[in-house]
């Protein structure tokens, strides 16, 4: 019974991560990271695993949005070069930051963007 509930929990969370990713564009990480941490996954591993979870979901979302004509490719391409640079820097920081600082940074970012969404 316990294993059944664990599987059910993972299926529900997977569905929620996918829905958030589809609606918010890679927003599944805001659900995946806390879910993984709740499941006793190391903080750094939770953040990295969240990327592995959301990558295929983002690809599928991107294909769907592209097929519906919802993506401005020319505008999006302007972000990619520095986005790649940011990924390299962020990935190196993840490895070198303490788990406590990483967790606090993630919390602060979530609060800032949450407040920004509420105010606008």
**Model pTM score:** 0.80
Supply the pLDDT for residue 112: 93
The per-residue DSSP string of 16-57 comes to HHHHHHHHHTSTTHHHHHHHHHHTT--HHHHHHHHHHHHHHH
Supply the pLDDT for residue 28: 81
Residues 54 and 26: beta-carbon distance below 8 Å: yes
Supply the pLDDT for residue 27: 76
Domain boundaries, the chain: 2-119
DSSP H or E stretch at residue 76: helix 73-77
How far is C-alpha 100 from the chain's CA centre? 19
Torsion of CA 22, 57, 67, 83, to 10 degrees: 90
Mean pLDDT per 10-residue interval, the chain, length 120 residues: 84 90 82 91 93 92 94 94 94 92 92 91
């Amino acid at each position: 019974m316990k294993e059944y509930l664990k599987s059910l929990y993972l299926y529900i969370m997977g569905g929620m991560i996918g829905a958030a990713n589809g609606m918010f564009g890679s927003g599944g990480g805001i659900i995946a990271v806390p879910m993984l941490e709740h499941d006793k996954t190391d903080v750094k591993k939770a953040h990295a695993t969240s990327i592995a979870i959301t990558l295929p979901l983002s690809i599928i979302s991107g294909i769907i949005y592209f097929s519906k004509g919802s993506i401005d490719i020319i505008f999006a391409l302007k972000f990619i070069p520095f986005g790649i640079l940011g990924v390299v820097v962020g990935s190196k920081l993840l490895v070198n930051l303490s788990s406590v600082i990483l967790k606090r940074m993630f919390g602060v970012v979530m609060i800032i963007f949450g407040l920004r969404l509420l105010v606008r």
